[in-house]
A = this chain, B = another copy of it.
Amino acid sequence: MDAMDSTSTRRRATRAKLYEAAVTLIAEQGFSATTVDEIAERAGVAKGTVYYNFKSKTELFEELLRYGVGLLTVSLQAAADETAERGGTKVEALDEMIRAGLGFIDRYPAFTQLYVAELWRTNRAWQSTLLVVRQQAVAVVETVLREAVENGELSEEIDIPLTAAALVGMVLVAALDWQAFQPERSLDDVHSALSRLLHGRVSGR
């Protein structure tokens, strides 16, 4: 039943080293400005190994995108599920998802940079991969919003896709700004600022 495990442990480890190296370099410099030689060197691997494991530089990058967004989606979903299990409201679930999102960005800042930098480009090879992968992540938020509207926690007037996009954007940009321009702030600081926005506790006292 196993056997056909086409990727050996060894190969997986090599690939992981390559992802790790590529994500940092591409986040800093962009895809085109990053050379395959650099990636190989940083991963401590021969250039030929890159091409033994991936058919091209572009393919390596696309796999990286899939892998990274997969991690994010799992983490968002886990936050939503845990809140549900312990009987929390949907708005609490959203709040926990914001925290999970911030945690992800805190752990993988380079991936986040790279994702944002590529997401809205047009005419690039991996555009369709990105579209799929983005929808995966946003869908988790949309589902919780939808449930919250159904059980009356949120107004029926909200526009679910737009609100989901805005929430994701808010977290993404606030977190990147935090990392880039105010790294001394704590995750809790950032979380509570965003949470306040979510709960409409900005205006009024």
Binding site for B on A (CB under 8 A): 27-33, 91, 113, 116-124, 131, 153-159, 161-163, 165-174, 176-182, 185, 189-190, 192-194, 196-205
Q: Is the CB of A182 within 8 A of B158?
A: no
- A153 to B205 alpha-carbon distance, docked (Å): 8
Q: Which chain B residues lie closer than 8 Å to A113 at the CB level?
A: 120-121
Copies in the complex: 2
- A31 to B29 alpha-carbon distance, docked (Å): 10
Residue among A167, A169, A178, A185 facing the most chain B CB atoms (10 A cut-off): A169
| Given known A91-B203, A170-B173, contact A180–B32 (CB-CB < 8 A) | no
| Given known A202-B158, A202-B198, contact A28–B123 (CB-CB < 8 A) | yes
CB-nearest residue of chain B relative to A112?
A: B120
| Given known A200-B202, A202-B155, contact A189–B166 (CB-CB < 8 A) | no
Q: Is the CB of A163 within 8 A of B197?
A: yes
Q: Which chain B residues lie closer than 8 Å to A203 at the CB level?
A: 91, 153-155, 198-200
- A198 to B203 alpha-carbon distance, docked (Å): 8
Q: Is the CB of B170 within 8 A of A166?
A: yes
Q: Is the CB of A27 within 8 A of B200?
A: no
Q: Is the CB of B29 within 8 A of A124?
A: yes
